[in-house]
């Protein structure tokens, strides 16, 4: 009998009961705005910033409305102006070049490798074209951060890390988000913590973080931030930076605080599922499993593999056959963007130059979410289905 998978690739786990209880407390008292507090009360958003800064070994943290807002705020804090060029991965999702466009800057795309990380040789060749790199750890794949920081430091390029897919991950002993001047995170539903929307910005630089806090819409209430620079860091900045309101509210913060507490336990659960899929797909003819270097300590909330140099019609056949058995694969190869999936040549506002090397990789990337609602047995079943359908198409050609 043909095996069928019946689970949902978009169904996340419920919010932890502690988060539900905390959210109800906020709803019952009605003080959702982060600066609307009772006497002697510390806002949930403030406490969340302290929690996340401590978890990531950062001096400062700002909770914001979204990961995209965090990235645009980081670029503005660094002084990126309209018309400036900003380096970024060619393989990423639309909010990353969107953040660059948000400040009126121009993306300069850098090639991708078969490991789905930024091509460091191409980065070295382009490093003189911009003063900032918005580095996307796309789908949780982390490049050689020691080499990348060497390239950027030698060229005077400031690094902003997009860690939407690497919250809780490390390169060596250093957290993702702690290499650059800013680390940006997302709390959108399909990320490692879930508040529907939301994000974090972390940094050790007091001037940059003061700029970000004022831009987030603190008015003159930055003194209510506890994971923030000292008061004197705001003295000039408060007159210089515009209010571009993007605060997180206390309701989202209440939902998130218990999730930060269990982040690393959740990371282990994601990686267990990833390992089952990885083991099940090894040595499948025509399929390339992504290499993960030993220095990378990932948090694998999604899974990717490559069908390198396959014809587009054959890839479509694989996708259809898997879908008929309940397995949803996303593909970065189509000419037209679909759902959340788009690629650099879809972002025509950026006027991107052709990138044949990257095109070869993107035309082969297969992607699927890995929610914690999947059991290990589910993951083994998914691997068997993908392996069988790829093998069938491969053997037919």
Distance, in Å, from the CA atom of 350 to the CA atom of 367, rounded to the nearest integer, reads 24
CA 298-303-308 angle, to 5 degrees, is 115
SS3 369: strand
Contact 323, 5 (CB under 8 A): no
The closest of 192, 253, 199, 266 to 18, measured between CA atoms, is 253
Residue matched to tokens 């091509």: 119
Q: Which uninterrupted H or E stretch holds 199?
A: strand 199-203
Q: Which two tokens stand for residue 114?
A: 């078969």
Q: What is the chain's pLDDT, residue by residue, as a tens digit (397 residues)? A: 699 999 999 999 999 999 999 999 999 999 999 999 999 999 999 999 999 999 999 999 999 999 999 999 999 999 999 999 999 999 999 999 999 999 999 999 999 999 999 999 999 999 999 999 999 999 999 999 999 999 999 999 999 999 999 999 999 999 999 999 999 999 999 999 999 999 999 999 999 999 999 999 999 999 999 999 999 999 999 999 999 999 999 999 999 999 999 999 999 999 999 999 999 999 999 999 999 999 999 999 999 999 999 999 999 999 999 999 999 999 998 888 888 888 899 999 999 999 999 999 999 999 999 999 999 999 999 999 999 999 999 998 7
CATH code assigned to 263-396: 3.90.1150.10
The yes-or-no answer to whether 17-261 and 263-396 have a common fold is no
Classify residue 154 as exposed, middle or buried by CB count within 10 Å of its CB (0-12, 13-18, 19+): exposed
Q: Which two tokens stand for residue 360?
A: 């070869």
pTM: 0.96
Contact 287, 256 (CB under 8 A): no
The closest of 316, 326, 325 to 366, measured between CA atoms, is 316
CATH code assigned to 17-261: 3.40.640.10
Instruction: Provide DSSP, 132-151.
Output: EEEEE-GGG----HHHHHHH
Contact 307, 366 (CB under 8 A): yes
SS3 45: helix
Contact 361, 1 (CB under 8 A): no
Distance, in Å, from the CA atom of 90 to the CA atom of 119, rounded to the nearest integer, reads 10
* Sequence ranges of the domains in the chain: 17-261, 263-396
SS3 253: helix
């Amino acid at each position: 009998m043909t095996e069928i998978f019946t689970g949902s690739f978009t169904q996340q786990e419920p919010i932890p009961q502690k988060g539900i209880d905390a959210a109800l407390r906020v709803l019952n008292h009605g003080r959702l705005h982060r600066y609307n507090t009772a006497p002697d009360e510390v806002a949930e958003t403030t406490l969340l910033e302290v929690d996340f800064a401590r978890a990531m070994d950062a001096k400062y943290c700002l909770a914001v409305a979204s990961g995209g807002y965090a990235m645009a705020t980081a670029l503005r804090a660094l002084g990126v102006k309209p018309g400036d060029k900003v380096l970024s991965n060619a393989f990423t999702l639309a909010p990353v070049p969107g953040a660059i466009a948000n400040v009126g800057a121009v993306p300069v795309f850098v090639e991708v490798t078969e490991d789905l990380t930024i091509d460091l040789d191409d980065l070295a060749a382009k490093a003189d074209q911009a003063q900032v790199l918005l580095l996307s750890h796309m789908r949780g794949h982390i490049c050689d951060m020691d080499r990348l920081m060497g390239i950027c430091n030698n060229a005077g390029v400031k690094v902003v890390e997009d860690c939407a897919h690497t919250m809780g991950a490390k390169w060596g002993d250093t957290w993702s988000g702690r290499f650059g001047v800013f680390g940006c995170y997302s709390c959108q539903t399909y990320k490692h913590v879930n508040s529907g929307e939301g994000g974090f910005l972390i940094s050790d630089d007091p001037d940059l973080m003061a700029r970000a806090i004022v831009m987030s819409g603190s008015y003159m209430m930055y003194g209510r931030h506890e994971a923030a620079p000292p008061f004197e860091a705001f003295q000039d900045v408060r007159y210089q930076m515009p209010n571009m309101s993007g605060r997180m509210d206390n309701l989202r913060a209440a939902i998130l605080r218990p999730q930060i507490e269990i982040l690393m336990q959740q990371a282990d659960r994601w990686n267990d599922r990833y390992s089952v899929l990885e083991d099940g797909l090894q040595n499948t003819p025509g399929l390339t499993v992504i290499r993960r270097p030993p220095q990378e300590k990932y948090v694998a909330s999604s899974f990717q593999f490559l069908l390198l140099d396959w014809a587009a019609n054959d890839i479509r056949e694989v996708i259809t056959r898997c879908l008929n058995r309940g397995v949803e694969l996303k593909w970065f190869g189509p000419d037209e963007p679909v759902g959340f999936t788009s690629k650099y040549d879809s972002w025509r506002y950026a006027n991107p130059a052709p990138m044949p090397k990257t095109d070869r990789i993107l035309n082969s990337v297969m992607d699927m979410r890995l929610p914690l609602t999947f059991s290990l047995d589910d993951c083994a079943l998914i691997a068997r289905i993908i392996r069988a359908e790829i093998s069938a198409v491969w053997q037919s050609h």
